[in-house]
Every structure is written in structure tokens, then in C-alpha cells.
Structure 1
Amino acid sequence: MSDKIVVGVDIGGTTIKVGLCSAEGELLRTYEGPTEVDKGSVQVCQNIADYARLIVEESDFEWEQVEGVGVGIAGFLDIPNGIVKFSPNLHFKDVHLKDFLEEKLQKKVLVNNDANVAALGEAWAGAGRGVMHCVCYTLGTGVGGGIIIGGKIVEGYAGMAGELGHMSVVPDLEAIQCGCGKMGCLESVSSATGIIRMAKDAVERGDRTSLSFVEQIMAKDVFDAAKAGDEVAARIVTRAAFYLGKSMATVAVVLNPQRFIIGGGVSRAGEFLFEQIREVFHKFTPENTQEGVEIVPAILGNNAGVVGAAGLIIRA
């Protein structure tokens, strides 16, 4: 193992998670501290710097061994300059995060979108290890994504590449409005929020389903009911899987990745969900484009963000 280390930072609205990684992608230790959004952007930035130094101080390494610090953050970013144009959860507006941290830490700092960073984590040290071309889906409250081609994050012109949840895949007659304001987005049917919405709609229509007896329906309840033979729940899962598989077929003919990696809470449904996604993917994807392509679960879980943030430095 190299004696060089990298620090990865995953900024959340409540907690800042910091990870210390080897140059090979091994997560050596983690630390979590409060974000303190209510104290303003300067305090949040100072907390990041403090936690980065603290995790190294508490390790067997010296600050001089740190190659750099990578940061993942949700929001609209000027990625090359490390400026957070707007982050609603953190109340950041035009915050020069890269400049601030480089001055405080005297190390190279790189900043990127949190979904891109999580994708890089899986590609570098998770389910995509050894694969140069992969696309990551995160199925949670929404549907996030990240694209890794040639081992590098695809950011796009304005840093908005990889917004997989906002691919318009649902036909107009079935489409509902997504949180982004557009109609028929993948997120509206394949996220936990979308699955819960479809379940509640079924209950309100009076469909015969065991979900009628669940007081507060969660996505897991829908999957459990489907696995137990509930036909209504099974249809909801099939619909979510259908549009996921169809979206992957579209991505495949554009990017031809070797591996699709699916993470987030919904992915914990396991092979019951994955088998259906693969079936749809194979149905809609040309044979030569699907050859050798795998659809697999993510393996890093909540650590993907800090590992990927550290990977920004290594993959730079």
C-alpha cells in the first residue's frame, strides 16, 4: 500500500462525513461531525476544513502525506473552479468552496456533484472496480446518477450530465409531473417516492391489496407485499423495473457502458427487482450493445460518497 493518503468529504444537510482513503481506494477510517447550516456558509466551510485535519490527526498518518481533499456536495456547481452556485440544503449561494479549503488546508482540493462522486466511488473501489465504463443509478427519495467513461466522470457542458432520474421515459397518457417540473421522468415511477405514490393511489382506488392495511406505506412494504404474492404490489414493482430497464437501454445505445450499478434504498429489494430490470433491458437493447453488459448492485452503501470524493484526487 502507498504511504500517500487522500481525504474525501461528503457534505450533507445535517452531517459532514469525512473518509481517509489509501491511494488504492481502501477506506481506512471515517469521521462524522455536524454541518451546522444554521451558522452560515463560512462556518460550514470551516467545519469541513477542521474535520479533514481531525481525521488525519487521529490516524497513524501525517498531514504531509495527504495528496489532496475531494468534496462531494449537492447543488448547482461551477465544477472547474469549485464554486457552489446554489445548494438549497446548505443555503449556499456563490460559495468559493475550493478556494476557501485550499487556503485553510494548503492542499489540492477538488469539488464535484454528490451523485457523480458516489458513482466514482463505486467505479473506483466498489462494484465497478476494474471497469473503465460504467453508469450508476441511485434509487432513493429520487433517482440520482453518475456516468464514468474511460475512468473519468462525465460532467457535461454545465455539470448536469448524469441526471438519469430526469430522463423522460413514461408515455404522455401515463405521465405525471416530476418534482423538476417536467412530465414523465424516470424518478416519478422508479424512486422510493414514486413507488409509494403508486401504492397509495392503488389503495385510494380501492384495489384489493394487502397494502390497504399498512398505516404508513414505505417502498419496502410494496416489495415485501409483491414477494408475498400481492398482485397490485407486483404490478407496481414491475412498472418501476420496466422504466428502469428501458432507461438503461437508452443509455446503452448512447454510451455502451460495460456495467450498470444500482444503489440506494430501493436497490435492497435484491434480485426480485434486478431480474425484472435485466429482462426489460435485454428486450429493448440491440444484441451487440447488450453483449457482456452487467446490471449489478452497488456495494459501498453510505461510504460511496467519501470514497468517491477521495477518488476525485486520485483520478484527476
Structure 2
Amino acid sequence: MNKYCFGVDIGGTTVKIGLFTTDGTIVDKWEIKTSKEDGGSRILSDVSESLSEKMQEKGITKDEIEGIGIGVPGPVDDKGTVLTCVNLGWGTFNVAEEVTRLTGITNVKAGNDANVAALGEMWLGGGKGYSDMIMITLGTGVGGGVIHNGKIITGTKGAAGEIGHMLVNYEEEDPCNCGRKGCLEQYASATGIVKVAKRLLAKSEEESTIRDKENLSAKMIFDAAKEGDKIATECVEELGWYLGVACANIAAVVEPDVYVIGGGVSKAGVILLDVIQRHYEKYAFHAHKDKEFKLAELGNDAGIVGAAKLVIN
């Protein structure tokens, strides 16, 4: 095995890049702008140029590079083909083959960014020491990744792990961003939590420290719940119910060892883990009840760490 590898996490605004040793040590990390002009045609060329510049700077040759792993915000099959990536302007093409053509490095692998982040958490983060793991990322939306026997489950079209679009409320009348109604993302994302809180406030005359708050946020709701605010606590309980039921249903199919909760909402900490686990244990099949719930540890580095792991056996 060669000494170094690159992990690349392509986002809608910036591309995060990490240079790693093959034992997982970060040698360097940096960002470049995501050039979405002309249907994102320059993105991979810009990445290739940036990798080349870093190799020159560090005095590293191609022979010392084990490979390049890439995470992208869209479905990716197990051959490295992106199946349309709206946020970047990409259609269907093989990312791995294109990066090989641009860099001359043959060991290139690509994956969906949420799945890749899950792989990173399994390798060096909250899921370290486990080989079967579910990661749920609670941010603007709800993302997910499924790891089985240390490998990403991609699905036949690269769209496995879309946990945020599990149907959890058959009676919801408002549409999700995906066009359906009642998706987990509508309740467990940062925006979803605020929406739930506003519904509860509208139905109740209870005094609450979050009532009439300008720019109400998920953080405000969790902070109020920690102080005993009744409406905020009810909101957190509802969030925990949806996530607990979702995790119980996931366990019935893949039965992971551990659930790792990440994203901005996970900064709420133990209060979030506790409410999810309590509802999970209530609804899980008896053989699935004894599972770990942990917070993600890698933050914004999860993507580059997981991308690097794609090319390290």
C-alpha cells in the first residue's frame, strides 16, 4: 500500500479536500470554490489541478498516492456513476473514470456525500469500532447513510440511505421538498423542528419562552427544553418520537450495532440522544432493543475522511 490518499467532498458552494496518510492521519486540508458555471463542467478539472498543486507543494509523486475518494451531493452507483446531481448541474456520467482521466491515478472511487460521511464516522468518528452502522444527519434536511460489514450500502441506483424521506406521517397535508407528504425530514430537520414548534404554539395558550421569538431556531427550542419549557419539551418529544420510530423501522431491515446522529441539530447533545433512544426502545422489536446511540464526532471533516476511506482497504 502507498503512503498517501486524497479525500474530496464536493459541495454546492465549496469543495473540501484532505490529504491523508493511509492510516487515517490528516496531513493537510483545504477548500476550493465549486465552479457551477457551464453545468459544473470545471469542477473536476479544478479538483485535479488542486491535487496536483498540493502534491508538488508536499513533494509527493503519483506512485505514493494510494487513490482518490470523492463524495458528491447526489445518487452514485457502486461503479462511480453519478445519476444526475442537480445541485452541481451534472447529468449522468462516471465521476471515477473522469478523475482517473484527469489525474492519471487509477484507484478512484466515488460515493454519495451522506453515505461517504457515514463511512468517515465509522472509520474515525462516532461509529469507530463498529462495522454495522446507521448515520442520520439532522441539518437543513435529513440525510443518512447505511454501513454494513464496513461497506456502504448504495442501492441499485445509488439512492439507498435516504432516511429523511421515510414516510412517518400518513396524515400530513403539507408537502416535503421532495413533493411527497409526511417525510421524516418535515419533522426532524432544523426547519422541520421549528415548524413543529410553531404548530404546537398555535394550538396552545401555554406560556412559553419560545413564543413570539423572532427567527426561532432548533437551538432555541432545545435550549428552552433544557430549561423546562413545556412547549419546547413537547416539541423535542415529538421529534424523538419520529426519529425513534424511524430507527426502529430501520433496525427491522438492517439491524445496525449503532446509530450515529450528526448535523447541526446534533449539537443539542445528550438531550437529543436520550429522547430518540427512549422512543426507539419503546417501538423496536425485542431482539433489536439493545443498540447504541452516539453523536457524530468529525463535523465538517466527515466527508473528506469517508472519501479517503473509500480507497483504503
* TM-score normalised per structure 2: 0.93
Q: Which moves more between the two structures, 48-57 or 124-133? A: 48-57
Checking the alignment, whether the CA contact within 8 Å between 1:17 and 1:33 is kept in structure 2 is yes
Partner of 2:311: 313
Number of residues of Structure 1 aligned to a counterpart in Structure 2: 311
Alignment of 1:129-168 (within 5 A): 129-168=128-167
Residue 185 of structure 1: CA displacement? 1.2
Distance 1:67 1:213, change over 3 A: same
Q: Which deviations, in whole Å up to 9, do the C-alpha atoms of 1:61-86 show, x marking residues without a partner?
A: 43321111011001233441x23231
Contact 2:83–2:157 at 8 Å: present in 1 too?
Answer: no
Q: CA deviation at 1:103?
A: 1.1
In 2: Cα distance, 1:297 partner to 1:175 partner: 32
User: Which residues of 2 match residues 12-161 of structure 1 at below 5 A?
Assistant: 12-59=11-58, 61-80=60-79, 82-107=80-105, 108-161=107-160
Using the aligned pairs only, state the percent identity.
Answer: 39
Q: 1:60 to 1:275 in 2, by over 3 A?
A: farther
SS in 2 for 1:156: coil
In structure 1, C-alpha distance between the alignment counterparts of 2:204 and 2:215, rounded to whole Å? 16
Structure 2 CA distance for aligned equivalents of residues 188 and 121 of structure 1: 26
What amino acid sits opposite 1:168 in the alignment? L
Structure 1 CA distance for aligned equivalents of residues 103 and 68 of structure 2:
9
User: C-alpha displacement at 1:203, in angstroms?
Assistant: 4.5
Superposition deviation, residue 19 in structure 1: 0.6
- Aligned partner of 2:90: which letter? F
Asked whether the 8 Å contact 2:222–2:236 carries over to 1, the reply is: yes
Q: Is 1:190 aligned to residue 174 of structure 2? A: no
* Stretches of structure 2 lacking an aligned partner (at least 5 in a row): none
Kindly indicate whether the alpha-carbon contact (under 8 Å) linking 1:189 and 1:195 is maintained by their aligned counterparts in 2.
yes
Cα displacement (A) at 1:235: 0.9
Does structure 2 conserve the Cα–Cα contact (< 8 Å) formed by 1:26 and 1:125? no
Q: Per the alignment, do residues 206 and 128 of structure 1 end up closer, same or farther by CA in structure 2, a change over 3 Å counting? A: closer
Give, in angstroms, the shift of residue 245 of structure 1: 1.0
Taking the aligned partners of 1:154 and 1:3, their CA distance within structure 2 comes to 26
Report Cα offsets for 1:272-291 as digits up to 9, x if no partner. Answer: 11111111111112332223
- TM-score for the superposition, normalised by structure 1: 0.92
Structure 1 unaligned regions, length at least 5: none
